[in-house]
Structure 1
Amino acid sequence: MINERETVLAANDAFYRAFEKKNLEAMEAVWSQGIGSLCIHPGRDALKGWTSIRDTWEQIFKHTHYIEVDIDIISVEVSGDLAYVVLIENILQISSGRRIEAQSMATNVFERMADRWYMVHHHGSPLVK
């Protein structure tokens, strides 16, 4: 039997690999193309639908010279065709010659469609120390 938890974690890892590599095609492969997809970047408004979400990733990738994201998984839950991963994102970003280190608490929600897990929601909130 397939371990669904591990399959969800693989989809989650694919999201962060696409993020780090600033690979829009890989990001597109991870996300559901549906109009109900939601993305909330830290400190930003909610974006609904893949077109709006894609545009923000394109801008982030365009204006970021380098990015590393190390994650600390807090919880993984799978229930039927929905799953979520709660984690801390440890981010190192170089943008416009500035080095930025930050932490975000994030929730990634996945939906299983045609035997594959797709991201349908990403919400990152900054952690202030």
Structure 2
Amino acid sequence: MSPEDEVRTISLRFYAALTRMANGDAKPMAAVWSQGAMVTALHPIGGRQVGWDAVRASFEQVARLASGGKVELHQQRIHIAGELACETGVEQGQITLADQRVAIEHRVTNLYQREGDGWKMIHHHTDISPAMLAVLDSLPHS
């Protein structure tokens, strides 16, 4: 399999895991992410998570509120430079957050790194979603 095909495969696995998260189960994320201290995520709900523990916790937080979701990558572009791969595209789909349906259409940049057992995600960055933020802001704060 070519390196580009390997990156396409891990990308498909990431978007399958993202769809599972959008249906309340963040556990599959662990299989596609590198789990080091330097991984980062900038989600559509804002903030910046650094390190696997923070990234995992952010996906788990959304999963607790999510159901009925599906996320797919469109307009995929991949560039590989040695042990790093950059993927850009547009995430499209929908998610129900706290019983409110939200459309997803975000520009995205994903970075992958080749590790001993294959490619792993090391960075995920999307546009901010005003609709998702509005849902989260409407929730009671404890």
State TM-score, norm by structure 2. 0.83
Letter in structure 2 aligned against 1:64: A
Report the secondary structure of 1:65's partner residue: strand
Cα-to-partner distance string for 1:56-88 (whole Å, 9 max, x where unaligned): 100111100121112213410111100011010
The structure 1 residue matched to 2:83, chosen from 81, 84, 92, is 81
Rounded Cα–Cα distance in structure 2 between residues aligned with 1:47 and 1:7: 26
* Aligned counterpart, 2:120: 118
* Aligned counterpart, 1:30: 32
Note the C-alpha offset of 1:127: 7.5
Mark the CA change 1:43 to 1:94 in structure 2 (over 3 Å): closer, same or farther.
closer
* Aligned counterpart, 2:134: none
> How well do the aligned residues superpose, as a CA RMSD in angstroms?
1.6
Note the C-alpha offset of 1:97: 1.9
Worse-matched range after superposition: 63-72 or 79-88: 63-72
Cα-to-partner distance string for 1:8-49 (whole Å, 9 max, x where unaligned): 011011111011112433201100110000000025121100
* Aligned counterpart, 2:11: 12
Q: Which runs of 5+ in 2 are unaligned?
A: 131-142
Mark the CA change 1:50 to 1:9 in structure 2 (over 3 Å): closer, same or farther.
same
Note the C-alpha offset of 1:115: 4.7
Report the secondary structure of 2:47's partner residue: coil
Cα-to-partner distance string for 1:66-121 (whole Å, 9 max, x where unaligned): 21112213410111100011010013011222111131000000000115000000
The count of aligned residue pairs is 127
Rounded Cα–Cα distance in structure 2 between residues aligned with 1:77 and 1:15: 17
Q: What is the percentage of aligned positions where both structures have the same residue?
A: 26
8 Å contact from structure 1 (residues 109, 119) kept in 2: yes
Q: After the TM superposition, which residues 59-70 of structure 1 pair with which residues of structure 2 at under 5 Å, given as runs?
A: 59-70=61-72
Worse-matched range after superposition: 112-121 or 68-77: 68-77
Mark the CA change 1:112 to 1:124 in structure 2 (over 3 Å): closer, same or farther.
same
